[in-house]
Amino acid sequence: MDASTLGRGLMYLGGGLVVLGGLVVLLGRALDLGHLPGDLVYRGDGVRVYVPIATMVVLSVVLTLLVNLALRLFR
């Protein structure tokens, strides 16, 4: 692998991260993903513990579908 190919790959990776970050910001405003029924919240005296189990499952399924779709399109 030469430097040109590596540089091009890093630029694509950076662009993909910018797009992914933008999607996260927009979806964070449009959807209330942090408060799904399967998310656990413990509030004690001066302590708050948040475990977003349902949110992690939903995001995992969506990202898996998107990555598989992208891989099939670029094959």
Burial of 22 (0-12, 13-18, 19+ CB in 10 A): exposed
Query: pLDDT tens, 1-30?
Result: 789 899 999 999 999 999 988 988 887 788
Per-residue confidence (pLDDT) for residue 41, from 0 to 100: 92
Measured between alpha carbons, how far is 59 from 67 in angstroms, rounded to an integer?
A: 12
This prediction's pTM: 0.58
Query: pLDDT tens, 21-63?
Result: 898 888 778 877 778 888 999 999 999 999 999 988 988 998 8
